[in-house]
Amino acid sequence: MKARRGRLLVSGARLLRADKRVCLRAARRLFRAARAGEIDVGLVFVHDLEMRALNRAWRGKDAPTDVLAFAAHEGEPVPGAEHTLGDLVVSVDTARRQARALGHAVEEEIAVLVAHGLAHLCGFDHEKGTEQAEAQRSCEMTLLAGARFDVALALSARAP
């Protein structure tokens, strides 16, 4: 039987060409570092307006956020979707603001957000206690280190 190769399925709403290149470069670097060769992950880049609507609909918070993760398997597995990890939605506007505020490149912030989202898709949730937060932080740092990004940038390692 031939080995199945995973895919990083990317889409985005009217991003500038330069933004799209930076976002894709960071995401692909992280995906390769995760050695997710047989896993499908959907990745959508949006602006704050779309992110605010998603955050309000799914989390009841009427403000944009940086990344949302939608796991594919939160209940019974779906036949034919065993290799699908889920979908990530990243706000490029928020990533740009956070990168500027922290003094690093947008590409680095995109990588941080993708790593954070991937950790959520793997089942870690920093909002469910100290043990889960530490596990998520460790996962994010492992992904960032593997992609040769600064592990100190990890989202779950930042002060609240």
* pLDDT tens-digit series, residues 2-43: 334 444 455 555 555 666 777 777 878 877 777 655 677 788
What's the CA dihedral at 145, 69, 39, 20 to 10 degrees?
-70
Query: Would you list the domain boundaries of the chain?
Result: 8-157
**Once rounded to an integer, what is the mean pLDDT over residues 49-59?**
92
Looking at residue 8, what is its pLDDT?
47
Fold annotation for 8-157: Collagenase (Catalytic Domain) (3.40.390)
Indicate the pTM of the whole model: 0.79
What order do you get walking across the sheet with 8-12 strand by strand?
A: 8-12, 40-46, 84-91, 67-71
